[in-house]
Amino acid sequence: MFLKIDGTLWIQLVNFAIFFAILNAVFLRPVGEAIRKRRAYIDAVHADYESAGAAAKAARTEAERKRGAARRQGDETIAKARAEGETAAATIVGERTTEAQSIIELARATVATEAAAASAKTPALAEALATSLVDCALGAPR
């Protein structure tokens, strides 16, 4: 069995070349182009996904930073308001204490004046009482 090269081999080679050219034009090239487009689309979606993930992470970081700053500012505002409240309370207590002291001093002065007036009237009242008792004891008419 010896391989014989004749015209049939050449016709089969030309037939195969034509078939491959048609196959390439009709099937292989469009499929390859579709695969390249699909790969480009997938790469673009993947890049968009990664950039969106990075943007979300940056937004989370920024939100945490702003939240921390707002928390610190709120704490400072509360501390400042508390200090102002304590100062105002101390001022009001001091004013009311001074007011109370002046009322107490006025009351003491009034009591001292009334006590002095009552002490000044004591001898006259004692004499009137003694006279009234003597008159009652002696049976004098009223």
List per-residue pLDDT tens for the chain, 142 residues long: 566 777 888 899 999 999 999 999 999 999 999 999 999 999 999 999 999 999 999 999 999 999 999 999 999 999 999 999 999 999 999 999 999 999 999 999 999 998 888 888 888 888 888 888 888 888 766 5
Per the CB < 8 A criterion, the answer to whether 25 and 17 are in contact is no
Residue linked to tokens 């990075």: 54
Half-sphere exposure (Cβ direction) of 77: Cα atoms closer than 13 Å: 6
Per the CB < 8 A criterion, the answer to whether 103 and 96 are in contact is no
Rounded to an integer, what distance in angstroms lies between the CA atom of residue 23 and that of residue 28?
A: 6
Q: Where are the domains of the chain?
A: 16-117
pTM: 0.46
